Each structure stands twice: as structure tokens, then as C-alpha cells.
């Protein structure tokens, strides 16, 4: 099953299969390209593959917004008008849709062998019916179909919504994502499946940059190349242990490929809400953990270093404890549970002395005074939170809400997005669109969690942290004192006080 960062370790047998449709089962992408080239021709613009990549797998309106903004025609044509213009032409073309090579063979084979199969497509109901009208027999083999206008699909790919909805609707569902294999052709679809915790076989367009293939578990030129037997072998336990550094490397390869395509400008959405991490960001508590952990390791003639510290930061207590005893080689002498008990005794006396980090008070008070909704999402559990904040009730009372590590909605710690998604949901009028949320973090796992949630991130790392961890953040600061709200279209500071 995929780990919280979205990188798969295949330990479970594949029992269910989910297919994307456009460009994977049906050769429909060429119709969209043809129509979009015609529309752009009116404005003396050309349609290129870089824009196409950004649109792949998205809901219709999301793709339309990308199209008019990235091609520079938004002043002349709204996203909604683009959809109307495009629709008239597509109505004629979609009924001609042909199956992609190997699609019929694979679907019939899996169905005949009793493997439950379904479809998860961004196409809405009307388009689905037009595209599939020549292939009703084949699509009747699917257990169910989840469409882009389904009520459970709040966000399009790369959000995992559509794949999680598909997993839920199988007989005896929801099915464990670790038992599901997804077939996809688009980068956003691959990322959506990985975020859902599923394995992915990718059949990309040959023009697609190979950097997009990094997150897929297997890549084919065609569905004709897929060998089901290989996935029988893959179901045997063979855990791939990816370090945090490797996760960052893969994440950055995909991010850079998506964000820095030649000639494509990234459009930043307006920030309306802010979520803060706590430990090491608002409160200077990380030094206490370091101090206590150094004392524990000294008994075993071991030393505590920053490589290990980086892996533990932002995690739930038991997760960081497992990392600690395993990475330091003391697991034979000290269990994670015993480590937590010993550490707890020492931390109880230190946490009440916690100080605010430089600039924390000023920024929190400023955002609150200007009416910007703010919240905290921390890996700390309730007892620790109360100890750490007991001298700072005034500051923390300004938060709209606080999501703790032992919150029932936080199933997995960072780098899973659970904490940040729960925080976005609880704002007034929530859930707030993740694109409108700015997160402040100090930990690499926290930065990844925010990016996995689809949010922007300002990182304020410890100076001892390796700079390779900085690249995933949207902005890196030495201190909260350096943050300029105006750069994020937030209300500016009215003075220079610290």
C-alpha cells in the first residue's frame, strides 16, 4: 500500500481494478486537441503539448480555466464560454470514439476471470454516454462507473476523490486501496491514484515528458503490453523502503515537470485562509525533543543527528518513536512504546517552559486583526498541546480551530495530508478549497503533507536542515519575521515591529 507521501510499497495482492477512460480506454483526446486548436486559431494562438498536460484528467471547468489562462485568451473568452464553443464541435466528434489498442482484450479478460473492474473518469454523464455509445457491450462489463460530475467527486484529479469513491462502490466496499490497481494515462491521474494509496500502471502518450512517469509503478507503450501475471508476482511482500530524501526527489521531479513546462506560466490562486504548524514553527519546542532524545541515546553509546531529526519531525508520536528506535539501532533494547514512556517523563517538566518563535505572535495577531481565518494543524496530541501552550493562551485563542495529532479525522500523520485537509474542512463555510490555503511549516514531512493536500507552503526550516528539503516549498524564510503578507496578496503589516 502507498505510504502517506504517496509512494507505493506493494505488499498486498491486487483484487480490484479501476480504469481511467479518455486516452486510456477510448481514443478521445485527439478530438479535444482538434477542437481546441480550432478555437485558438481564431486568436492567432497555437495549442501546445505543455498546456495539454496540465489539462489532462481534470474536470471540464477546471481544464477550461487552465486553457484560457495559459493560452492568454481569458480577456476574450471566459472558461464557461470556451466550454460552450467546444461542446458544439465535440457533440459531432465523440460518437466516433474508437477503443485504444488492447482495451477490449484486457477488460474482457479481467471480467471473465472474476476480477471486479470499474471506471473512474472526469467526463460528465452526457459526454460519457456519447463517447461510449458504440461500445455499450464492453462498458457493461464494469461493476460501476464514477463520473466527473458525481456528487462525491468534490475535486478533480490530482485529488484522490474519484478513486476513493470508486473503491467504496465495489461489492463489499470500501475496498482497501492497497488491493487496487489503477490504469491511467495522465500525470494528474497517476498522482490522484497515488494519493488514494493505490498502485498505478501508466500508458502515457509518447509525447509526454518521461519525468511524469516516475510515480507510476509500471509504464507501458500500450495496454497490449500489460501482463497480468506480473502483478500476481508483485503481490508478494516486497516492501520498497523509500527514505524521506528519495520521496522528496520523486515529488520534486513531478512538481518541476508539472510547474516548469516551457512557455507555461503557473497561476497562483488567492490566499483566503492560513494554517500553522506548531512545534518548531510557532513554539520553540523541538529543542526539548532533541535534548531528551540525546539523553536516551547516550545510554546506548549512540548519538542523535539531524538526518534522523528530519525524519521524525511533524510525525505522530508513535510514528516518530518507531523511526527513532529503528534508525538508531536500539529497537532490540527499547521498544517504541518504552521510548515514549521514558521520553514523556522528561518532557512533562520542559513543555510548560515553551517560548514563542520569533515573529509568531506578530503574524498571528496581524492575520486575526485583518479578518484572515487562521488555524493550527499539529502532530502533537491533546495532553502535550495543553502543556506547550499553557503560557500562550492569548495567541492560541485567536485560532478559528485547532486540529491535533490524536484527532479522529487524522488517520495518518504527516506527510499524509489528513491533518491539513481536516483543518480546511472546519473553517466557517468549509471545506475551503486547498488552493486558497497557505500553510506555514518547518518540517520536511509537513511541507509534503501540505503539498499532498494541494496547498501552498511557506517553510521556516531549522538552519541545520539540509537545503535539499527546501525545494518542495513555495517560499523559504529564515524566520517568521521575514514573512511579507503582501507577497501573498494578504493584508500588509502596518508597522515594522517584531
- Run of H or E including 190: helix 187-195
Neighbours of 347 (CB within 10 A): 18
Tell which residue, 444, 489, 495, 487, has the closest CA to residue 468. Answer: 444
Q: Is the peptide bond before 174 cis (omega within 30 degrees of 0)?
A: yes
Q: How far is CA 385 from the centre of its chain?
A: 26
13 close to 175: Cβ distance less than 8 angstroms = no
CB neighbour list of residue 249: distance below 8 Å, 6 or more residues apart: none
Tell which residue, 101, 94, 122, 107, has the closest CA to residue 20. Answer: 122
Neighbours of 371 (CB within 10 A): 7
Q: Rg of the chain over CA atoms, in angstroms?
A: 24
Q: How far apart are CA 67 and CA 69, in angstroms?
A: 6
Compute φ and ψ for 226, nearest 5 degrees.
Answer: -75, 130
Strands 117-120 and 475-476: what pairing? unpaired
Exposure b/e, 115-139, CB count within 10 A at least 16 = b: bbbbbbbbbeeebbebbbeebeebb
For the chain, the farthest-separated pair of C-alpha atoms sits apart, in whole angstroms, at 75
Catalytic (active-site) positions: 277, 279
Neighbours of 65 (CB within 10 A): 20
Amino acid at each position: 500500500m502507498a505510504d502517506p507521501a504517496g509512494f507505493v510499497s506493494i505488499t498486498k495482492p491486487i483484487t480490484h481494478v479501476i480504469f481511467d477512460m479518455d486516452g486510456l480506454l477510448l481514443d478521445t483526446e485527439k478530438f479535444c486537441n482538434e477542437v481546441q486548436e480550432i478555437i485558438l486559431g481564431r486568436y492567432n494562438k497555437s495549442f501546445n503539448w505543455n498546456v495539454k498536460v496540465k489539462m489532462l484528467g481534470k474536470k471540464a471547468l477546471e481544464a477550461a480555466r487552465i486553457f484560457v489562462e495559459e493560452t492568454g485568451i481569458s480577456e476574450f473568452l471566459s472558461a464557461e464560454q470556451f466550454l460552450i464553443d467546444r461542446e458544439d464541435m465535440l457533440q459531432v466528434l465523440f460518437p466516433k470514439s474508437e477503443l485504444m489498442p488492447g482495451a477490449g482484450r484486457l477488460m474482457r479478460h479481467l471480467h471473465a476471470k472474476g476480477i471486479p473492474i470499474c471506471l473512474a473518469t472526469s467526463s460528465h454523464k452526457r459526454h460519457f454516454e456519447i463517447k461510449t455509445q458504440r461500445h455499450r457491450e464492453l462498458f457493461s462489463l464494469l461493476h460501476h462507473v464514477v463520473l466527473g460530475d458525481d456528487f462525491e467527486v468534490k475535486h478533480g484529479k490530482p485529488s484522490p476523490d474519484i478513486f476513493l469513491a470508486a473503491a467504496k462502490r465495489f461489492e463489499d466496499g470500501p475496498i482497501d486501496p492497497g488491493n487496487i490497481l489503477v490504469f491511467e494515462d495522465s500525470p494528474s491521474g497517476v498522482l490522484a491514484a497515488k494519493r488514494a494509496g493505490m498502485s498505478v500502471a501508466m500508458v502515457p502518450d509518447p509525447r509526454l515528458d518521461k519525468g511524469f512517469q516516475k510515480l507510476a509503478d509500471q509504464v507501458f507503450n500500450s495496454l497490449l503490453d500489460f501482463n497480468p501475471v506480473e502483478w500476481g508476482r508483485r503481490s508478494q511482500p516486497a516492501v520498497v523502503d523509500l527514505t524521506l530524501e528519495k520521496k522528496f526527489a520523486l515529488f520534486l521531479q513531478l512538481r518541476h515537470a508539472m510547474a516548469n513546462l516551457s512557455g507555461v506560466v503557473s497561476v497562483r490562486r488567492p490566499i483566503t485562509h492560513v494554517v500553522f504548524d506548531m512545534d518548531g514553527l510557532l513554539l520553540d519546542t523541538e529543542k526539548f525533543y532533541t535534548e531528551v532524545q540525546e539523553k536516551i541515546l547516550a545510554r546506548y553509546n549512540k548519538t542523535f543527528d539531524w538526518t534522523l531529526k528530519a525524519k521524525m519531525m511533524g510525525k505522530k508520536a508513535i510514528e516518530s518513536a518507531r523511526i527513532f528506535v529503528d534508525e538508531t539501532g536500539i529497537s532490540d533494547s527499547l521498544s517504541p512504546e518504552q521510548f515514549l514512556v521514558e521520553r514523556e517523563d522528561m518532557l512533562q517538566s520542559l513543555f510548560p517552559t515553551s517560548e514563542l518563535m520569533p515573529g509568531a505572535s506578530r503574524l498571528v495577531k496581524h492575520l486575526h486583526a485583518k479578518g484572515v481565518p487562521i488555524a493550527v494543524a499539529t502532530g502533537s496530541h491533546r495532553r502535550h498541546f495543553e502543556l506547550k501552550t499553557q503560557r500562550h493562551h492569548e495567541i492560541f485563542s485567536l485560532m478559528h480551530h485547532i486540529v491535533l495529532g490524536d484527532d479522529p479525522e487524522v488517520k495518518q500523520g504527516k506527510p499524509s495530508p489528513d491533518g491539513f485537509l481536516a483543518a480546511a474542512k472546519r473553517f466557517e463555510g468549509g471545506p475551503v478549497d486547498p488552493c486558497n490555503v497557505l500553510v506555514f511549516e518547518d518540517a520536511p514531512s509537513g511541507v509534503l503533507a501540505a503539498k499532498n493536500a494541494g496547498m501552498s507552503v511557506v517553510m521556516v526550516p531549522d538552519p541545520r536542515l539540509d537545503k535539499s528539503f527546501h525545494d518542495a516549498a513555495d517560499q523559504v524564510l529564515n524566520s517568521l519575521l521575514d514573512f511579507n503578507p503582501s507577497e501573498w496578496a494578504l493584508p500588509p503589516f502596518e508597522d515594522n515591529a517584531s
